[in-house]
Structure formats: C-alpha cells, structure tokens
Structure 1
Amino acid sequence: MTPADLSLTVLHAVRRAVDDGVLRVEVPPRVKVERARPGGAGEYASNIALTLARPAGRSGLEVAGIIEERLRDVPGLAGVEITGPGFLNFTLRGDVGRGLVRAIVGAGSAYGHGTALAGNRVRFAEVSEARAGVVVETVVGLLRSQGADAAYGGGDERMYVRPGAYAVDELGVDAARWSLLRAAPQDRPLEGAPLLVQHERNGLFRVRYAYSRVRRLLVNGEQLGVTPAYENEYAYENEYAYEMTVDTPLHTSPHPRDLLSALADYPLVLLAAARLRAPDRVARHLEVVADGLLGFQHTVLPLGDEKPSAAHRSRLAVAEAAGTVLAGGLSVLGISAPDRI
C-alpha cells in the first residue's frame, strides 16, 4: 500500500461513516497522510479526525474512533493506533494484493459473506406491492449473507418502499430488478427503457459488460499461455501523491490499486447494505468495481509483440477477482452475469 492508497483508504472510511449517519459532516475533498515523526507511532499519521471534530460536534478522539472502526481488517493495514487528542497512526503491511486476490478467488461467490449479524432474528411482514416484494426479498438475502436469521413473511417488520411496477414482461428479469433495486427504496425506481440500451451511461450494462470482459480476458489469456497468478505489487516509476481527493474518478486510472480498494471494500458494503436494508448500495458499488475493471482492462494481457510476464499474470488475477465480485454482487441482487454481451 502506497501513501496515496492509504490516503484514499482513509477517505473511503470517512465517506462510509458519513453514509452510515455516524458522522454528520461534509466529506472532505482530500485526506492528507504524512510520515510519522521520529518517536511517533506507526509509519504514517493523519490529523483528519481533529479536522472533522468541530463540524461534527464531537471530540477528536470520538471521530478518530469512528474512523478507526472502519479501517479494521482493511487489507494493507497492519495496524491503526489513536494517539494524543485524536491523531490516527498507521502501520502498513506489504503484499496486500496477493492476499486479497487469493481470498476473493478462494471464497468465490461467498466472498463478503460473514457472521457479523449472527444472532439477529428478522421476520418481515408480507407485502402485496410489487417493488416492495422484490426489495424485501433481496434484503432477506443480504441479512442471511451476514449470518442473520431472516425470513420474508410471518413477522411484523416493515420497510418503506416507494411503489414501482416489476415489469418483467417489458424489460426482462435483469433490467426489471435493477430498475427497482438500483434506486434507494424510498426513491423512484429507474426508468426501464434506458436499461435496455448498451451504453456506458447504463449502469446495468457496464456491470454486466465488465463481467463478460473478465471472462473473455481469461479465455484469451489461456490462449496466450497467461494464467492468473498475483506475483507483484505493480511498482511504477512515478512517485505517488500523498493526497487523494473525494472526486478522483476511479475509471481514469490504468493502475489496479483503485480496483483493489473497491474489491477490499465489498464485504463492508454488503454488511452496510444488510444493516441499513439498502440493496442499492450493492448496485452502486458494483458500478464502481466495473468502472475500475474497465479502466485498466487493456493493460491486462500482452499487446503486439509484448511477451507474457509476471505483471500480466498478476493483472489477470486482479481481473479474475473483479469478475468474482461482480458475479457475486449480481447474484445477491437476483441478476444474471453473462459470459458474453
């Protein structure tokens, strides 16, 4: 993990805290990390918690604790320590990409599933409205993926879901479900017609196309004698900036570090989606993963007279991991992942 990766990781943690409603502040445009001073804790440090404390109406220590909670078990971080009035101190761990990719491919469609909600029993009341039925059914699946004992029917828990038609005959199952689940339950469903158009503005198309690209890359790699094997950390000659901004577009970078960050975030997204009864979070994150994959796909396999190398094997392994997450996320939403589009 580079300083830039660390900066972006901390920024993501702040954004998650804001999205979860724990921190009521505007997400800052950037997070600065610096080398720890002699005698300090860890390798890098940030004062972001102190910066956010006043607008959040909390102490620096409270804000630091909230951010630290969302940095636990992040690949690449060996430890996070809070010192003084709320400084965050980080110790990095090398070779994170290899462990993350292996974990994803090894878990397959179960990657991101866990036991955080074990012991919770949730029973939803039956509903007659079409969209509510699709949303509640999906939320039940999300809760079960995190270890909860959840069921649709036989209970009294209700969700507010803005009504919408489940237009399977008009759109097909995949587009019909995406139109209902991509928007937050309380928001109006997406219009159906644009979801049938193969265009980059169509999130459903981008996600499914990205998965199909992974399948094609694996086939082409086999033909070229390139098999997935994460073997290096993508060392580039240029130095990394120490600040990443909140509006840094994921899809513009040919380097897989942003894609790896999105893959590492996926378990946290599933958990938040289950806790908040918000399947739209999964759909939105799949778009992030798809954009990351599509942004660096052209560097995965050898071009022209280029000979296969360890870098190509590593890139293909990252692509395979991305495909695994895309397929798993689509499955959670009840949407198919086609090998070809």
Structure 2
Amino acid sequence: MTPVELSRTVLHAVRCAVDDGELKVTVPERVVVTEPGPGGCGDYATTIALQLARPAGQPPLRVAEILLPRLAGADGIRDVVITGPGFLNISVEAPAGLVSGLVREIRDRGAAYGHGDALAGQVIALRVPYEVRAEVVADAVVRIVATQGARGTVEHAEPVNLRPVPAPEDPAPLGPDAAQWALLHPAAHDRPRITADHLAQRESNPLFRVRYAHARIRSVSRNAARLGFTAAPGPLRLGAGDEARRPDIAALDTDTSDVAHPLLTPLADHPRILAAAATHRAPDRLARHLVTVADAVLPFLPRVLPCGEEKPSAAHRARLALAEAAGTVLAGGLSLLGIDAPEHL
C-alpha cells in the first residue's frame, strides 16, 4: 500500500465514522500520512484525530479510538496503534513477493538505489560560516542532493543559509569516521557530542552498529562462498519438504516471510529517506535511517547460512540476497556521509 492509497483509506474511515454518526465533522479533502515521529511505531502515522478533535467536539484520543477499528479492518492494513495524544500509527501489509522484487531492484541499481530526480536541474548554493560542523554538513549535503539530480555548491558568504549548532570542541581526535558521525548524526538544531563514546565497540554506539552490520554482512557473504552458494532473490522461507525434515530450522523462520519481514520497510523506505535528506538539507535523516537498517538486519544474519549438516537451499540464497541488499544500502549511505564501510571490523 502506497502513502497515497493509505491516505485514501484513512479518509474513507473518516467518512464511515461520519456516516455512522460517531463523528460530526466535515470530511476533509485529504489526509496526510508521514513516517512515524519519536515514540511512534509502524510504517506510517497520521494526525487526523488531532485535526478533527476540535470540530468534532471530542478529545483527540477519542477520535482516534473511533477511527481505529475502521482502519484496522481495511484491506492492506496489518495493524493500527494509538500513541501520544491521538496519533494513529499504521502498519501496512506487503504483497507476497515484494521482498524478492525489492531485493532485485537493489541488486540491479547497486549504489544508485534510492537515487532519483526530486531536485533535478537545481543548483543549491550553501552559504556556511567558518565552523567545522557547518562545513562537514555542507559537504555531506552536496553529495546527498546529487543523488536527487541537483548540484550543490559551498561558499563562505552572507547571509548564511546553513548553520547547524556548532561543535563544542574539535572533533579531529575522534578520527575521520567517528568525527563525521558525531557531527552528522544529530539534527542540525542539536548540539553534537564530541566524546569517546563514538569510538566504543559496543551496541550502545549507533556508528558501531551500522559499521558492524555491514562488516557482518560481508563476512556472511564470504562464508556462503566457502559453502559453495551465492545470493539469489526468492522466497525467504524453507520449502515444505525442508520444514518436514528439519523442524528445528523451520522454527527459526517465524519472522522471515515475504509478507512482513522486518527489513522490508527500512529498505523500501530508503529512496524516500534519501529524497527527504536532500530536500531538507538534513544528513542526520540518512544517518538515523542507517541505524534503523542495521538494527533490522543484525538479528536476521544468524539465519542466513545453513546450520550444522543442512544443505544450502533456495531459501538460504534468498536470505543472503536480502542481507546483501541491506549491505548495499548501508555502504551507500555511509559513503554519502563520508564514512568508510568496513569489510572487517
């Protein structure tokens, strides 16, 4: 389900609630759906309940509760959760085969996956102060806007139009990769932390998780080659015969279906995130997205290779293809941020 289709579905739910007499409002012409904000969940979120609360004369939470069952029962919607004062967070279903189709697209496009023409033909002049973070952000923005067909330029001139909160101290002692991350991962209005935490080799460090995920994917690919098989997009689950012979392995497949794989949304969202990062001159959006991809792929990697005496199957080749697609997104994103994507870590 696309955002446009989901918007129509939410609008239909509002109309049904009005027709049933549970809401007394004028049905809006359109409903905006966006990615969930902090504290949200699912694939998309909408503030329609907050928008309708005042004209309906009801609290936003009550409006959301009225709309929830009508949305939850709609075709293409897997789950609806209310968060905060009345945000509707929506998880959509993916048609069978969508994962393999997405993996093929990423494999075909490689590092260019996610590139588009949202800013085609534009020349974006970035005027920045003489400050290390502003210059690093501007350099990343130039690379990111190029993915959307624009050409960026950087100059030190007034009036300044790109001024992130300055770094509190020189980030150079962190080394090039950690320094880049420390300056780019926070939003422009947040003060960056120039601390040794960015060098920590542990899960609490987002940069470590992203680079470790890429290195693990490369390691899995090398091990698959040693076992004599390569990646090939296809169904992720074991076949019926394999499940019957190896119920212990089949039990691991509870979250690897083509319909609701946890990697589906972050990989499919990559073009949208990249376009938003370019449009809003916000490399932090890309950095946070890479953390989401890494956190989705890491729990999946132990299921890619055969276990014990198990022979490589089509499902293993498909899982390897999905893992490598995630690696492509991670490597491409890190490159745009000016950070190395390691083969070993």
TM-score, structure 2 length as denominator? 0.69
d(CA) in 2 for partners of 1:230, 1:112: 19
Alpha-carbon contact 1:184-1:278 (below 8 Å) kept: yes
Question: Computing the radius of gyration over CA atoms, which structure comes out larger, 1 or 2?
Answer: 2
In structure 1, the partner of 2:275 is 271
One-letter identity of the residue aligned with 1:294: L
Count of aligned pairs between the two proteins:
267
Change in 2 beyond 3 A, CA 1:29/1:274: closer
Q: Cα offset for 1:233? A: 4.9
Alpha carbons 1:123, 1:154 under 8 Å: kept: no
Does the aligned pair in 2 maintain the 1:260–1:318 contact within 8 Å?
A: no
Match of 1:124 among 107, 123, 126: 126
Corresponding residue of 1:316: 320
Q: Where does residue 211 of structure 1 map in the other structure?
A: 214
Task: Kindly provide the amino acid, as one letter, of the partner of residue 151 in structure 2.
Answer: D
Contact residue 116 and residue 149 of structure 2 kept, 8 A: yes
What amino acid is the match of 1:134?
V
3-state DSSP of counterpart to 2:152: strand
Query: C-alpha displacement at 1:14, in angstroms?
Result: 3.8
Matched to 2:205, the amino acid is N
- 1:191–1:279: structure 2 CA closer, same or farther, 3 Å change rule? same
Structure 2 counterpart of 1:37: none
Equivalent residue for 2:201?
A: 198
Structure 1 distance, partners of 2:115, 2:41, is 31
Alpha-carbon offset, residue 191 of structure 1: 3.4
In the alignment, which residue of structure 2 is the partner of 1:54? 52
Task: Select the residue among 144, 147, 166 that pairs with 1:145.
Answer: 147
Structure 1 length-normalised TM: 0.70
Conservation of the 8 A alpha-carbon contact between 1:31 and 1:48:
no
Q: Percent identity of the aligned residues?
A: 45
1:243-262 to structure 2, matched below 5 A, reads 254-255=255-256, 257-262=261-266
Give how far 1:260 is off.
1.9
Do the aligned partners of 1:122 and 1:157 also contact (CA within 8 Å) in 2?
no
Distance 2:46 2:339 in 1: 39
How far is 1:94 from its partner? 3.7
Helix, strand or coil for the counterpart of 1:132?
helix
Which one-letter code corresponds to 2:305 in the other structure? L
- Is residue 217–residue 301 contact of structure 1 (8 Å, CA) maintained in 2? yes
Unaligned runs of 5+ residues in structure 1 are: 20-25, 33-46, 59-75, 78-87, 238-252
Say which SS state the counterpart of residue 153 (structure 2) adopts.
Answer: strand
User: Alpha-carbon deviations, 1:99-149, whole Å to 9, x = none?
Assistant: 211111221111111111113221112421111110111112111111122
Is the alpha carbon distance of 1:120 and 1:29 closer, same or farther for their aligned partners in structure 2, counting shifts above 3 Å?
A: same
Q: Give the match for residue 178 of structure 2.
A: 175
Higher RCO by CA contacts (8 Å cutoff, separation 6 or greater)? 1
Unaligned runs of 5+ in 2: 11-31, 57-75, 78-89, 241-253
CA deviation digits over 1:273-319, x for unaligned, max 9? 11112111111110110011101111000011112111100000000
CA 1:100–1:128 in structure 2 vs 1: closer, same or farther (change >3 Å)? same
Matched, 1:115 2:117: yes
- Deviation digits for residues 236-258 of structure 1 (CA, Å, limit 9, x no counterpart): 99xxxxxxxxxxxxxxx853711
Residue in structure 2 matching 1:288, options 286, 292, 317:
292
1:151 deviates by 1.1
Question: Partners in 1 of 2:54 and 2:277 — Cα distance?
Answer: 24
Hey, what's the Cα distance between the residues in 2 that align with 1:55 and 1:202?
40
Q: 1 CA distance for matches of 2:50 and 2:268? A: 25
TM superposition outliers: structure 1 runs of 4+ over 4 Å: 26-32, 47-53, 55-58, 90-93, 154-157
Q: Is the 8 A contact 2:33 2:46 kept in 1?
A: no
How do 1:87-98 residues align onto structure 2 when only pairs under 5 Å count? 93-98=95-100
Please point out which of 178, 186, 189 is paired with 2:189: 186
Q: Could you give the per-residue CA deviations for residues 36-65 of structure 1, whole angstroms, max 9, x where no partner exists?
A: xxxxxxxxxxx978656515989xxxxxxx
